[in-house]
Structure 1
Amino acid sequence: MTDLRSLTQHDRRRFLHTATFATAAAWLTGVRSRAETLPEAEITSLRKFMAEELATPPYPIPGVVVMVGTLEEILFHEAVGLAQVTPREIPMRPDTIFDIASVTKVVAAATACGLCVDRGLLDPDAPMSRYLPDHQGTGIDKITLRHLAAHTSGFAANPRLYSWGKGEAFFQGMLAESPSWPVGTRYEYADRNTILLGVIVERVTGLPFGEFCTQEIFQPLGMKDSTFNATPHLDRVAGTHIEAGISHNTDSLAAGRAIGAVGLFTTAPDLARFCRMLLREGLHENKRFLSAEVIRDFTRDFTQSQDLEAGFSSRGFIWATGEEPYRPERLSASAYGHGGWTGTALWIDPEKELFALMLGNRIHPKVLGGNSRIPQYKKLARIADRILTALDR
């Protein structure tokens, strides 16, 4: 691990500046942090560790926001490093807005489907053809919504979904393709699964997916900084490898509207409101938002019940329920979460009654070569584990 002393004088000064900025911003935004009550030596140690992990070669990350909270209290909320390196340096702050990439799948798609189940609009065990009768692919009759959500539908991952065209041509291309394997025989993580779930939500509600999420998820939960694609607060946006405030994902851009796979921009405080609703088994401000039955059903391991080839990832209804490179080791076996390609992760631990958010900008200012994703995810998990350890003392 890189020692902080080995950083250049400029890097050390930049780290100290951003750490001070984060603390000041926390006071201004009213964030309650248990880090304020930790011994000064512990606070210094945690900040140093975060900076070292971010800077460690060969796959550094410019900055990170980490939050750990419970039902009632924010235990830790710190921002370290830079939100943007170029075209000018912008310090990371506690309310930095992130392109959360595939964390969109659980915050938006899974929640939207859950609301539709509660309202009697969807049956997770019904065939997708019930809701998409115009799907022209062969071999889809046995694919249920739950197969789509667990990535066991048989649809292959395709890194170039945008090749189908833009706008409606993008969706028509998707509705014309057939699965590559028999349903329930192979796990393959594929964005099209949750894009199709988003289309199904549109069909049963009569609303564009993004509009439904805004009206039925973000506004009721008070997630004021959560939006799809372009955001007006560019001075608060964490950079990716393309223009700030625009989804990094080419499929999202080709679709031309919000989809169920990627494209959501949000903050740690907004995600905290979402996580607390789940920890309260669907209650938000003493009102029922989502049924406890749906939450329990969506976060149970569905993949274990299928005769899958080796190498699958344990999944519920979109939610990851097993080991992942971005999962902190100090979480209990009951924890469920999801990660995003941009360097983001969200975990909820019902047994310990806490949530952990790790929001980084690993693909800024460019996507690093090699298999950089896994070691960068593990950096985030190690940072969270160190903080969880300190909070347990």
Structure 2
Amino acid sequence: MRAQPLRCRCVKGRRYRDLHQRRQRTIACRRGRRALRRLRPDRPTDGGHHVIADKLEGLIARHLPATFPALSICVIHRGDIIMEEVRGWIDPDTRRIAVTTDSLFDLASVSKLITHSAFLALVEAGKVALDGPLVDVVPEFGRLNPRPIAGGQDPHTRKLLPVERRFRGQTVDPSAVTFQHLLTHTSGLPPWRSVYLLAAGAPPPPPTAGEAYAAERWRRGLAAMAEFPFAGSVGDTVRYTDIGIMLLGEAIARLQGCRLDQALGDLVLRPLALSTFTHRPVAAGVPRERIVPTEYDDHWRHRRAWGEVHDENACGVGGIAGHAGLFATVADVARFGQAWLTGDSRLGIGPALRQLATRQHASGQFRLGLGWMLKAEEDSSAGDRYSADAYGHTGFTGTSLWVDPQRQLVSSVLTNRVYHGRDPAGIHAFRRALHDLIVEAVDGK
């Protein structure tokens, strides 16, 4: 529901809006101090909490609205939600709809964690093997064989990438790609390709497109992905790629015998009672006032992405894909992280496979487990204070989830940092500073 302004019938027009804005700022300031105080409820207030609360207020003030107009934070420590903080506006230009704990954010690549978990649940159930070839489930991926190496596209500039000298003139056997290659981004597939341009033209605003329309877009997109050239040899090194996780999503759907969103619900979301996770939220009946908008797309859709996924490829294939497309509240994202931290049996993933998933499997630009990003030794988005064995994932729209097993700490941070554009500098600095501040508060030093 739309956030209601302060009830005061004698205040109208501009004064009415200004009064509501002042009230929101006052509530936000008080909420920030209470949230940081709750981080250490067992310790008396000795001034340290006020210092940390002031640091939080200062950090947020430096980045909201300049880096992002909407922010939601949820921190779980030792099983308890110790901080649930929201700031900003759904409509930053008019400031009529405040962000709330019920606001849904576009998770971008944090969606991959649900896809990875669903696949690992299928592995645990014996329905598929980690080292099984993708072509065993998606045979059309191997029909064009051998496949050339051509470099792919840069996901940000969309420019073609050059082929590495050592791969010039070489070809790849696509049947060599296993599911473990997809999970560790070592498949050799390109970092990105403009699937959305090959699937169809720009879709109408939600929720006008029907199921048949979305299914046809996915069919065309899948046909294109099954023939894309590779960017390198299979198993060579880490090349972070959305294409591989889109294909993994198709495999999950076929193994479950249903559409991907239904499979993710059956395998992960409903067992964990994560009810706010949804694809295509407007079509699912979520009011726009609960959905945080992202970027104005002046390249393809020529409208602001509000209630539809920001990622062009996910949008282009119908809004449901393995790599992006999910929306959720910050608390549900944190609860998902908590399920991994505690080994919740409802995940359907046993201890051995969970441990395998959070252990390093690939070297290169990223430290990766099976789908999870592992904390980088330097310049991690989790800051400098999270433990070395922390694992998590970030999303291009400004989202992240980090789990610190040593501290029994889970932090979910959701923003819409692409609202103003795609410069990543501000969000990276914010993430690092915020995670360091969370650890400072939890550790009490």
Q: TM-score normalised by the shorter chain: which range applies?
A: 0.7 to 0.9
1:344 equivalent in alignment to 2:378 = no
1:309-337 C-alpha deviation (Å, 9 max, x unpaired):
xx521111121013164222211111110
Question: 2:54 pairs with 40, 45, 58, which one?
Answer: 45
State how far apart, in whole Å, the 1-side matches of 2:254 and 2:37 are: 43
Give the corresponding residue for 1:34: 38
Corresponding letter in the other structure for 1:316: G
Instruction: State whether residues 67 and 356 of structure 1, in contact with CA within 8 Å, keep that contact through their aligned partners in structure 2.
Output: yes
Give the corresponding residue for 1:3: none
Question: 2:261 pairs with 210, 229, 242, which one?
Answer: 210
Give the C-alpha shift of residue 174 in structure 1.
0.8
Give the corresponding residue for 1:264: 326
1:263-298 C-alpha deviation (Å, 9 max, x unpaired):
0000111112211211112335xxx63212221111
Instruction: State whether residues 110 and 394 of structure 2, in contact with CA within 8 Å, keep that contact through their aligned partners in structure 1.
Output: yes
Secondary structure of the equivalent of 1:272?
helix
Q: 1:226 to 1:101 in 2, by over 3 A?
A: same
State how far apart, in whole Å, the 1-side matches of 2:221 and 2:94 are: 32
Question: 1:245 pairs with 307, 318, 331, which one?
Answer: 307
State how far apart, in whole Å, the 1-side matches of 2:38 and 2:345 are: 25
Give the corresponding residue for 1:185: 236
Q: 1:85 to 1:200 in 2, by over 3 A?
A: same
Question: 2:359 pairs with 300, 313, 321, which one?
Answer: 300
Corresponding letter in the other structure for 1:186: T
Give the corresponding residue for 1:223: 274
Give the corresponding residue for 2:371: 318
Q: 1:148 to 1:295 in 2, by over 3 A?
A: same
Q: 1:75 to 1:42 in 2, by over 3 A?
A: farther
Q: 1:228 to 1:334 in 2, by over 3 A?
A: same
State how far apart, in whole Å, the 1-side matches of 2:243 and 2:412 are: 25
Give the C-alpha shift of residue 165 in structure 1.
1.5
Corresponding letter in the other structure for 2:421: V
Give the corresponding residue for 1:147: 181
Query: RMSD of aligned C-alpha atoms?
Result: 2.9
State how far apart, in whole Å, the 1-side matches of 2:22 and 2:99 are: 10
Q: 1:209 to 1:86 in 2, by over 3 A?
A: farther
Give the corresponding residue for 1:308: none
State how far apart, in whole Å, the 2-side matches of 1:382 and 1:149 are: 29
Greater C-alpha radius of gyration: 2
Give the corresponding residue for 2:170: none
Question: 1:132 pairs with 128, 133, 138, which one?
Answer: 138
State how far apart, in whole Å, the 1-side matches of 2:335 and 2:37 are: 16
Q: 1:18 to 1:224 in 2, by over 3 A?
A: farther
Q: What TM-score, normalized by structure 2, do the two folds share?
A: 0.75
Secondary structure of the equivalent of 1:345?
strand
Give the C-alpha shift of residue 342 in structure 1.
0.4
Instruction: State whether residues 70 and 276 of structure 1, in contact with CA within 8 Å, keep that contact through their aligned partners in structure 2.
Output: no
Give the C-alpha shift of residue 73 in structure 1.
0.8
Q: 1:221 to 1:205 in 2, by over 3 A?
A: same
Q: What TM-score, normalized by structure 1, do the two folds share?
A: 0.84
Instruction: State whether residues 106 and 397 of structure 2, in contact with CA within 8 Å, keep that contact through their aligned partners in structure 1.
Output: yes
Quick one: percent identity of the two aligned structures?
A: 24
Q: 1:71 to 1:206 in 2, by over 3 A?
A: farther
State how far apart, in whole Å, the 2-side matches of 1:87 and 1:190 are: 38
1:114 equivalent in alignment to 2:120 = yes
State how far apart, in whole Å, the 2-side matches of 1:239 and 1:42 are: 33
Aligned pairs, number = 364
Instruction: State whether residues 63 and 361 of structure 1, in contact with CA within 8 Å, keep that contact through their aligned partners in structure 2.
Output: yes
Consecutive unaligned residues in structure 1, runs of 5 or more:
1-9, 305-310
Give the corresponding residue for 1:156: 190
Consecutive unaligned residues in structure 2, runs of 5 or more:
1-16, 147-172, 201-216, 296-303
More deviation, 82-91/233-242: 82-91
Instruction: State whether residues 118 and 264 of structure 2, in contact with CA within 8 Å, keep that contact through their aligned partners in structure 1.
Output: yes
Corresponding letter in the other structure for 1:209: L
Give the C-alpha shift of residue 19 in structure 1.
6.0
Give the C-alpha shift of residue 156 in structure 1.
0.9
Moved over 3 A (4+): 13-16, 21-25, 35-40, 86-89
Give the corresponding residue for 2:288: 234
1:150-197 C-alpha deviation (Å, 9 max, x unpaired):
111111122412122241111111112232211122322111110010
Give the corresponding residue for 2:341: 279
Q: 1:122 to 1:32 in 2, by over 3 A?
A: farther
Give the C-alpha shift of residue 94 in structure 1.
2.7
Q: 1:79 to 1:19 in 2, by over 3 A?
A: farther
Secondary structure of the equivalent of 1:391?
helix
Instruction: State whether residues 155 and 190 of structure 1, in contact with CA within 8 Å, keep that contact through their aligned partners in structure 2.
Output: yes
Corresponding letter in the other structure for 1:148: L
Secondary structure of the equivalent of 1:48?
helix
